[in-house]
Amino acid sequence: MLSLTKRLLTEFTGTLILVLAGTGAIIVNEVSGGIITHAGIALTFGLVVMAMIYTFGDISGAHLNPAVTISFAAARRFSWREVPQYISAQICGALAASIILKLLFPLNETLGATIPAGIAMQSFILELILTAILMLVILSVSTGGKEKGIMAGIAVGAVVGLEAMFAGPISGASMNPARSIGPALISGHIEYLWIYIVAPIIGALFAKELMKPNAVLANAI
């Protein structure tokens, strides 16, 4: 078992890189007049998640997401005692990334914060569903609290990119409370932050329930 300090450092670093690259792509797209495009932003999120899984998966599990950590713990694949530390490291990483981006782009108002394009409940439901789908994939390609096999990073990164591609223009396709908390707090746009904290956690826990042994068969019978 690797030391908790080392695992927390990788969660901090991995989440920092995820938010720096993902929300950074949003900001650069805005200041460059749309050169990156929406598809490019979605691809950036998918690629950075994939890269972080391959970089840190064997160390901390590369959760990078409080909803993922909570779902792993609820599924008894991760210790509840370490959940607060993991979530704290993830949020601190996201905040650090947003602070860096604020220093680089001081005139940007939102710093890539997730803000609903329509009514709040629409984005809430969408974020819940998106996170449930993502967590189903993560639970399917993981052993314990860690991803397994050479294709795990590709599978998870592909789902993140796919969901960001089609749902990003509506809800922002966060699926990750830390990813939303960082830019929201640093930019001051916290009015819809509750959506991106509550919905992903509910969605991830719902996915955990769906992955219970024989749950689908029992319901069918």
* Phi, psi for 202 (deg, rounded to 5): -60, -45
pTM (two decimals): 0.92
The answer to whether the CB of 86 falls within 8 A of the CB of 69 is yes
* Phi, psi for 90 (deg, rounded to 5): -65, -45
What pLDDT score was predicted for residue 152? 86
In 3D, which of 88, 147, 109, 87 has the Cα closest to residue 26? 109
Question: In angstroms, rounded to a whole number, what is the distance separating the alpha carbons of residues 219 and 185?
Answer: 42
What pLDDT score was predicted for residue 151? 82
Instruction: Render pLDDT for 29-40 as a digit per residue (tens, 0 to 9).
Output: 999 999 999 999
Q: 211: which strand partners?
A: none
What pLDDT score was predicted for residue 2? 73
Instruction: Render pLDDT for 130-153 as a digit per residue (tens, 0 to 9).
Output: 999 999 999 988 876 565 567 889
The region that residue 33 occupies, defined by phi over 0 for left and psi between -120 and 50 for alpha, beta otherwise, is left
What pLDDT score was predicted for residue 145? 57
Q: What is the mean pLDDT of each run of 10 residues along the chain (221 residues)?
A: 89 98 98 96 97 92 96 93 97 98 97 96 98 95 67 93 96 97 97 97 94 51 40
Question: In angstroms, rounded to a whole number, what is the distance separating the alpha carbons of residues 25 and 45?
Answer: 9
Options 3.40.50.300, 1.10.760.10, 2.30.110.10, 1.20.1080.10; which CATH number does 4-220 get?
Answer: 1.20.1080.10
Q: 142: which strand partners?
A: 147
Q: Where are the domains of the chain?
A: 4-220
